[in-house]
């Protein structure tokens, strides 16, 4: 989490090390895909840049955290999801995946909880 000084908004930054020149090509391909994705349930792409031996992808910051964090918090506090909450979560996930797979023909290979 960082502050974008141009917009004064909080953003998320994905940091990746550049080990080989080919890594940069892979990261730039990821950026071109991210740039094309516009969906309410997928973090928006903002910017990307290389600096020294790292490549950074700047994305919209989702203040509610991610699903894994929510699941762990609920487990810790023993406040289980209601059927309504689960339905909403699954609907958002399915909608985002449908958009990627069917509408954009993008296969997401790193889906986490």
What are the residue numbers of the active site? 110
- Asked whether the beta carbons of 48 and 105 are under 8 A apart, the reply is no
**Are 1 and 61 a contacting pair, CB within 8 Å?**
yes
Report the distance separating Cα 82 and Cα 68, nearest Å.
Answer: 17
Rounded CA-CA distance 24/57 in Å is 12
- Across 18-107, the runs of DSSP E, i.e. the strands, are 45-51, 54-60
């Amino acid at each position: 989490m960082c502050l974008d000084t141009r917009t004064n908004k909080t953003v998320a930054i994905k940091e990746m090390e550049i080990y080989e020149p080919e890594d940069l090509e892979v990261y730039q391909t990821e950026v071109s895909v991210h740039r094309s994705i516009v969906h309410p349930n997928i973090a928006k792409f903002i910017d990307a840049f290389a600096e020294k031996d790292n490549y950074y992808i700047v994305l919209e910051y989702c203040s509610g955290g991610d699903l894994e964090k929510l699941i762990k918090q609920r487990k810790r506090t023993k406040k289980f999801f209601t059927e309504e909450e689960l339905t909403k979560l699954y609907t958002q996930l399915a909608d985002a995946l449908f958009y990627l797979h069917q509408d954009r023909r993008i296969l997401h290979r790193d889906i986490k909880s």
